[in-house]
A and B are shown apart, each in its own frame.
Chain A
């Protein structure tokens, strides 16, 4: 390389760095001056965690159940004791003992009870068994009640002397409630929201207000524009993600987190942020009106957030959904975060996910650069 070429290269690199710095400066200052955006990016995910986590997390409690004892024998007494134990112990049910089955079924139809358990005359292991009539409009309660009552009957009817030892049940990791399971998903939600308020979508907004005419006439290259906006969006999203991660750590109990996995989690947040920022920019590289964004937001939210396994394990998806999930960068970010935060895995466990996220970012960035038009 001649000296002159070297100088040109150095000048180009300097211009690129300064261009990225300028885009970043603008992204941060404008975000900071619009508190509503800060609130929507940082507070919304935490609220999501608190409300959805607490709404869905719980074991069922105080499910109203009517028990009609028509047998009045030793077995039925044992069953009633079992139901009272459910009520007193894990408080699954709130039991009532109406006098006859007519009153109980009437209560079921009026929504007073979620289930009616009838202990028929002559109840015995060899004779008539209890019958369960449940309100199947609420499947959660229906299944929980049915399972619990079947267990009560099994214990009541089992010959005492042959009672088997309780089955062995091992949990591989310390007990995690749904709130904790949701933690990494909420970090991804923050990344999703954060990448929306700056980065490539800023370009869309600029196009609407004409601001872009100011920088498209400068010597900044299209590559720098694309890289700068992806990076700016990624940094804003990372800050949102990390702040929400801190909140998650405070609000939930993640016992296994150590220094290296925390650092790896932070890197995962950053890489996920770049990939989402790059995807946004690619999707809107040619867009000219914000109504497109308004219209698409819900669709993209559904296409990215739910297939990622944020709320339900990916493994149980049908094949078509699994394919969508496999292309979704959030899936990988979430998988890495869960491995690092919930399972306390060492950073090596996230390498493959990192590679996917970085590749995804680069592919989106290159496509955006090709698609991006400087003409107004």
Chain B
């Protein structure tokens, strides 16, 4: 798992990665919240920590944002140690935590003004920056509204504007869309595009238990469970690495007879299911054209293929394959 970290170590004089985590462990008494977690995030990358509640994502983020001291291991943010160089780390990062960190008695603009001052922004620079960020997250029209009158989605957008107000090099987002309706979630995803366009080198690390979010937003994803990272790669690569990473569905014009069913199984189709006498579903290893071979086999046997779909499985299936459990929104 420390592949990325060791790459950095073997390149003398190379720029440090924005995030380098090595063997990071956090224990609360007997409970191990994070067990020797290692990974790194590259400049301009969006890195997702995907896992169910209780997987240790928030604890990991808290250690990386100086809110919790690690029990052992080390982490460097923008080249600074999260224990010994906390103030340098704090200058480099922006965070959006799960908690509501905007004061509901302040207006949208006042919230950003208070936050900006804590980063040493003031006067015209602060005003301009607030205007810019509010436009990016689509809250400019509501700048003078009290935060308590914002919807959940708008409030989350304000939190994100707050997190990037001071133009950090690294942005931490702890479950940025949890609890939002699909439209608000979509609005936040779109906003990421805007932020990216504005800061191409900004590294984003986000936690989520929504696989489609990780799929859509993240260049690389680490799947976490019980305090450990189980695997880490781009969403597509994670799916392709599975023996059952491809999902095939075929429909024929007449019922498939028993003899042909056995032939399909021999082509390497896993988890073979017949949803109806004419419809077959199975999974296969990606890159082996199993779906196509099965289609050809059936056509050879005189069937007419009414429908054929071949798709990669979802990250949910990847999670299931690694843990034997479903990733549920619990």
Give the interface of A toward B (CB within 8 A).
Answer: 11, 14-15, 18-19, 21-23, 25-26, 29-30, 33-34, 209-221, 374-376
Contacts and interface: CB of A to CB of B under 8 A. Distances in A.
A26 B103 contact: yes
Interface of B: 62, 65-69, 87, 90-91, 93, 95, 97-103, 105-106, 110, 113-115, 117-122, 146, 162
A19 B101 CA distance: 17
6 contacts: A18-B118, A19-B118, A210-B98, A215-B118, A216-B67, A218-B119
B245 to A, nearest CB: 38
A375 B65 CA distance: 10
Give the top 3 A-B pairs by smallest Cβ distance, nearest first. Answer: A210-B99, A214-B101, A22-B117
A25 B114 contact: yes
A22 B101 contact: no
A220 B166 CA distance: 13
Nearest to B117: A22
Contacts of B115: 22, 214-215, 218
Contacts of A30: 103, 105-106
Given A29-B105, A217-B66, A209 B87 contact: no
B99 A211 contact: yes
A376 to B, nearest CB: 5
Contacts of A216: 66-67
B304 to A, nearest CB: 61
A18 B117 CA distance: 5
A211 B155 CA distance: 13
Contacts of B105: 29-30, 33-34
A213 B103 CA distance: 12
A217 B95 contact: yes
Contact of B100 (A25, A210, A221): A210
Contacts of B146: 33
Nearest to B67: A376
A290 to B, nearest CB: 16
B282 to A, nearest CB: 47
A83 B68 CA distance: 79
Given A213-B99, A217-B90, A26 B120 contact: no
Given A218-B115, A219-B91, A213 B101 contact: yes
B120 A14 contact: yes
A63 B90 CA distance: 72
A214 B162 contact: yes
Contacts of A217: 65-67, 90, 93, 95
Of listed B62, B69, B97, B110, residue having the most chain A CB within 10 A:
B97
Contact of B106 (A11, A29, A209, A212): A29
B114 A26 contact: yes
Nearest to B110: A29
Given A210-B97, A214-B115, A26 B106 contact: yes
Contact of A374 (B67, B93, B95, B162): B67
B110 A209 contact: no
Nearest to A212: B101
A244 B238 CA distance: 68
Contacts of B110: 25-26, 29
A21 B100 contact: no
Given A33-B106, A219-B90, 18 more contacts: A11-B120, A18-B118, A19-B117, A19-B118, A21-B117, A25-B117, A26-B103, A26-B114, A210-B99, A211-B100, A211-B102, A213-B67, A214-B95, A214-B99, A214-B101, A219-B87, A219-B118, A376-B68
Contacts of B114: 22-23, 25-26
B82 to A, nearest CB: 11
Contacts of B69: 375
